[in-house]
Amino acid sequence: MTEVLIKITNMSKAFPTGEGDFLALKDVNLSFIKGEFTGIVGPSGSGKTTMLNIIGSLDTQSSGEVEVLGKEIKSLSAKESAELRSRHLGFIFQTYNLLPVYTVYENVEFPLLLLKISPDKRHKMVMQALEWLGLTDKQKSRPAQLSGGQCQRVAIARAMVKEPSLVLADEPTANLDTENSLHILDMMKKLNQELGTSFIFSTHDQKVINYLRRVIRLVDGMVAGDDTQAG
């Protein structure tokens, strides 16, 4: 049975500006099911980050409906929305957003500290996530001692450690060279296939686009294409 993770209906997002509202997303209708490996693709300013922020309940729509894991995000209190994120969603950012004074181990452990998990179980989960990303021997390093590709692997381990239903990644390869980008994509695709975790990326990088199974094209805040490919 296909499990719908996200359902977006007639959704628009307006940002107030000096000259009135600016419509960053216009009448979007999209669904995402469990196990997807999908890219939101479009030029800079087309609304990719805005879309991911809304899907991730970091922001809310101006009109229309957005259901994330069966809950309308606009109806959630701040506490409920934080709980949805901390339990079920993983985030990966272009600039990694690692905590510089913490070790790799501590960075990956961080999201688990918000959940009620015993220290034993927490340790097992961190070690598992480090193993998935090939970081076991880097666990005592700090971000400054790592390459960009390694930092992004730590960020993926941190997003994966609680085994979320959905990982959202905003231009995850934008700061990486081709070799590291492809390595990162291989790892995410393997996690997608082996664990069934859904991934939704934003990108304008052709290397990333070739890896995707579903490509959603945004132009000026409108969905201009939604295609499934071999990936």
Check residue 50 for interaction with Mg ion (CB under 5 A). no
Residue 193: contacted member of Mg ion, ligand ADP, none (CB under 5 to 8 Å, by partner type): none
CB of 45 or CB of 196, closer to ligand ADP: 45
Binding site for ligand ADP (CB under 6 A): 15, 17, 22, 24, 42, 44-50
Q: Are strands 20-33 and 4-17 parallel, antiparallel or unpaired?
A: antiparallel
> Based on CB atoms, which residue is closest to Mg ion, 51 or 104?
51
The minimum distance between CB 224 and ligand ADP, in angstroms, equals 13
Strands of 222-228's sheet in order across? 89-92, 166-170, 198-203, 37-41, 214-219, 222-228
> Segment near Mg ion (CB under 5 A), from 1-9, 42-50, 178-186, 205-213?
42-50
Residue number, 65 or 220, with CB nearest to ligand ADP:
220
Q: Round to whole Å and give the CA distance between 103 and 144.
A: 10
Does 61 contact Mg ion by CB under 5 A? no
In the complex, the smallest distance separating the C-beta of residue 45 from Mg ion, rounded to whole angstroms, is 8
Residues contacting Mg ion: total by CB under 5 A: 2
Nearest distance from residue 36's CB to ligand ADP, in Å?
19
Question: What is the distance, to the nearest Å, from the Cα of residue 68 to the centroid of all Cα atoms in its chain?
Answer: 13
49, 139, 198, 203: which one contacts Mg ion (CB under 5 A)?
49
Q: Among 132, 137, 149, 134, which Cα is nearest to 193's?
A: 132
How far apart are alpha carbons 52 and 94 in whole angstroms?
Answer: 13
Distance (Å, whole) CA 113 – CA 135: 20
Q: Buried b vs exposed e over 168-195: b needs ≥16 C-beta within 10 Å?
A: bbbbbbebbeeebbbbbbebbbebbeee
- Rounded to a whole number of angstroms, the minimum distance from the CB of residue 10 to ligand ADP is 19
Pick the closer one to ligand ADP by CB: 15 or 134. 15
**Least distance (Å) between residue 61 CB and Mg ion:** 17
Query: How far apart are the C-alpha atoms of 182 and 42, rounded to whole Å?
Result: 20
Part of the chain binding Mg ion (CB under 5 A), chosen from 6-14, 43-51, 54-62, 156-164: 43-51
Minimum distance, C-beta of residue 167 to Mg ion, in the bound complex (Å): 17
Residue 2 interacts with, from ligand ADP, Mg ion, none (CB under 5-8 Å by kind): none
Exposed/middle/buried for residue 165 (C-beta within 10 Å: 0-12, 13-18, 19+): middle
Q: Which residues here bind Mg ion, judged by CB under 5 A?
A: 48-49
